[in-house]
Structure 1
Amino acid sequence: MINESEHSEYHVPVLLQEVLQGLNINPNGTYVDCTFGGGGHSREILRQLGDNGKLIAFDQDADARQNLPDDPRVTFVPHNFRHLQRFLRLHNAIPIDGILADLGVSSHQFDEAERGFSTRFDGDLDMRMDKRQALTAFDVVNTYSEQQLHKLFEQYGEVTNSKTLARTIIEKRGTQSMRTIANFKQALHSVVKGNPNKYFAQVFQALRIEVNDELGALKDMLQQIPSLLKPGGRAAIITFHSLEDRIVKNFFRKGSFEDTDLTDPFGNQPAEQVFKIITKKPVTASDAELKRNPRSRSAKLRVAEKFI
């Protein structure tokens, strides 16, 4: 689970050297940063690219545009990475040599009270990465059924008393406003288990994942990678949640999300390997990085290479 950082920078890139090593950058290659954010990973990739290299940077958060370097090799796409193939085709950038996605929320987003990501500030219960979309966290807590709320808090937040939490939201929302973070926390103070900050961090994580369909977008993006990468090209994905990590691990291993038990129940057809796994185990932050950047402690990097 990703927690908030005390850093004042827009976003400190995690596992930076490990990502660069994993991508094995070709100076004349085309690379995609699916989560541009503060641009930390992208700037280092650009340093390793020559004049003929290209970088396509995706970010659905409009604030990320302010971090773009003045560099003709960079193309910025202000959209969710689930639309990867469509925009790479539009910019005539297929095939690509490598792709990076850092699935963490930036420190900047946590520090902007009006975005509603942080438990530290008051503001609207929003949590939209892309302000153009309609669904907010307030809509989720105000309209979802008890069963839906129970499921998302249990699965996405690993909240210990998710069933009680869901039932309490249903009971309280009819009589108390939950439009702001302060309203929400006040209405639910009676069901908090353990450390309130940790408890609400898990609750907020679950709401954020739901509002932005983060797991759906991740699956959409991963499924496009095999057809986008050149043979020998690499994908590097940084996750901050066990569900995300499991999705990436299984996709790199199988090359798809198809259930082979259904399509080939007797296991007669050997699965065609799409990727060579570069990281047998997920790469985690060093002690030095953990001291420098506490938010890196839950980061896991997996790298895979498309078979030639």
Structure 2
Amino acid sequence: MYHESVMLNECLDGLNIRPDGVYVDVTFGGGGHSKAILARLGEKGKLLAFDQDPDAQQNAKLIDDKRFTFIEANFRYIKKYLRLYGIKQVDGILADFGISSHQIDEPTRGFSTRFDGDLDMRMNQKAEVSAFTVINKYPEDQLHKIFGMYGEIKNAKTLASAICSARMNAPIQTTGELKTILEKYAPKFKEFRYFAQVFQAIRIEVNQELEVIQEFLEQTPELLRDTESRLCIMTFHSLEDRLVKNYIKTGNFYGEPQKDIVYGTITKPLDAVSRKPIEASQEELARNNRSRSAKLRIATLSE
């Protein structure tokens, strides 16, 4: 199985689908969410899906539906590409920031801590910067910053120094070679979590994930058609969720409300549909381990 869509029904309900509406799935992946959206659309409805991953492109070819358009691009360019297709506003936007189980389980992609594979981790296989570049070419202070900020690693400085020392002898080529270094610095009995944090930090840097999310979010208010249109975003770690939460709450990424100088009113483009994020049901948690860290936030245009 390619990938089980997390909180599928919650996402569909959150989108509040109009049969004749125009919707965007910015993270197509295995196509689970897209197929479910198409099933709820009428003849006049439209769905556009974004993904830059070659596997996702192959999955998209399996959908033979005139209402469906696949866009081979990063969703940070959502507005530009929608304009190319003559679309200025939409009725709903769905984003699932989770990495697919297929990508994790494919050793050659280098995402997994469980398999030995090349240090790659590129969502876009044409991108110049890979995990190999980060581990072997980045200066020590930059590695320190990445591990600390994106992986929230406690001994980030020590680890960065150890990697720089190791690569002086020979390049670090594989995830297995990297893990051999990490083993010496991982807290006892928490090795797997430590590996996951380091891999997450490298992956975020390789794919510029947080910058992409920020650029995407800033474009969403002008793309939503009206106050009935919905923005549904699912995150899988605190760094992503903080950006989404702050932007919905305040219109910026710092979480500080911006007040109008003259009138003292708070100006923000979006309103949260519910104060707290939606989380997976007990039934889904039992069935799909990946859903345990998922948070779904839904927003509409401010009135």
Normalised by the size of structure 1, how large is the TM-score? 0.92
Asked if 1:105 is matched to 2:99, the reply is yes
Mapped partners of 1:281, 1:264: distance in 2? 23
Alignment of 1:72-221 (within 5 A): 72-194=66-188, 195-221=190-216
Q: Report the secondary structure of 1:132's partner residue.
A: coil
Q: Does 1:39 align with 2:31?
A: yes
Indicate the structure whose relative CO is greater, using CA pairs within 8 Å and at least 6 residues apart.
Answer: 1
Which of residues 281, 290, 293 is equivalent to 2:285?
A: 290
1:245 counterpart (241, 244, 253): 241
What is the SS of the residue equivalent to 2:169?
A: coil
| Matched AA of 1:128 | R
| 8 A Cα contact 1:178 1:187, kept in partner | no
User: Greater shift after overlay, 67-76 or 193-202?
Assistant: 193-202
Contact 1:13 1:40 in 2 (8 A): yes
Does the residue aligned with 1:231 lie in a helix, a strand or coil? coil
The aligned amino acid for 2:14 is: G
Deviation (angstroms), 1:67: 1.8
Q: 1:258 to 1:104 in 2, by over 3 A?
A: closer
**1:4 corresponds to:** none
Tell me how large the CA RMSD over aligned residues is.
Answer: 1.8
Find the aligned partners of 1:298 and 1:81 in 2 and give their Cα distance.
23
Mean Cα displacement is larger for which, 297-306 or 150-159? 150-159
Answer yes or no: is the 8 Å Cα contact 1:285–1:297 preserved in 2. yes
Which residue number corresponds to residue 57 of structure 1? 49
Shift of 1:197: 2.1
- Structure 1 pair 259–110 and aligned structure 2 pair: CA distance change class (3 A): closer
1:304 matched to 2:299 = yes
Deviation at 1:218, TM superposition (A): 0.2
Letter in 2 for 1:22: G
How much has 1:176 moved relative to structure 2? 3.6
Percent identical: 52
Number of residue pairs matched? 299
SS at match of 1:230: coil
Q: Distance in 1 between matches of 2:156 and 2:109?
A: 24
Q: Could you say if the C-alpha distance between residues 282 and 267 of structure 1 is closer, same or farther in structure 2, counting changes exceeding 3 Å?
A: farther
Distance 1:267 1:228, change over 3 A: same
What amino acid is aligned across from residue 201 of structure 2 in structure 1?
Answer: A
Secondary structure in 1 matching 2:184: helix
Structure 1's consecutive aligned runs of 4 or more residues displaced over 3 angstroms after TM superposition are 256-261, 263-269
Q: Hey, what's the Cα distance between the residues in 2 that align with 1:242 and 1:199?
A: 16
CA distance in 2 between counterparts of 1:93 and 1:184 reads: 45
Mark the runs of 5 or more structure 2 residues left unpaired by the alignment: none
Residues 226 and 255, structure 1, Cα contact 8 Å, conserved in 2: no
Report the TM-score, using the length of structure 2 for normalisation: 0.94
Any residues of structure 2 matched to 1:236-275 within 5 Å, and which? 236-257=232-253, 269-275=264-270
Residues 283 and 148 of structure 1: is their aligned pair in 2 closer, same or farther, counting only changes over 3 Å? Answer: same
CA drift at 1:241? 1.0
Note the C-alpha offset of 1:66.
2.1
